[in-house]
Amino acid sequence: MDLKEINAKIVFWLHLPIVIILFGMFVIPKSLWAGKVIFHFWYFVSIIFFQFLWSLFIYRKFDIICPLTTLMQWLRGYPLKNKNNHGHSFIAEILEKMRIQVSYVWVNVILIVSLIIVVVQYIWFR
């Protein structure tokens, strides 16, 4: 295994705590953490915002593209403009490793629906 492959694996696993926090916050009761709704809102909004910015800056399109995923795919040998780079999802890949097939498009749908839920929670329950 060469250095790029090792770095790609490191970047792959760097995603995990980010995604666990992103979706794990849904299962933490507000009674355990009074500031959970506010934290979750700003955490989620920040991540989605930076992904939208990244897609506009690098690909000149309005999409949800993770900078870490772009780096990971580049380390795997995919050029920035290659569909295997900007059309790839860590969430879809990790689910595939667990034998659950989810497309990149559905991951984005799940992210947008989750964002809407987080915003609604922020508006009504903070």
What pLDDT is recorded for position 35? 94
- pLDDT, residue 126, reads 76
Alpha carbon separation from 102 to 40, 108, 110 (Å, rounded): 24, 10, 10
pLDDT, position 1: 81
CA distance 42 to 39: 5
Q: What percent of the chain has pLDDT over 90?
A: 86
State the pLDDT at residue 117: 97
pLDDT score of 84: 87
DSSP states of 77-122:
T--TTSHHHHT--HHHHHHHHTT----HHHHHHHHHHHHHHHHHHH
Tell me phi and psi for residue 29, to 5 degrees. Answer: -65, 145
Mean of pLDDT values over 4-15 = 96
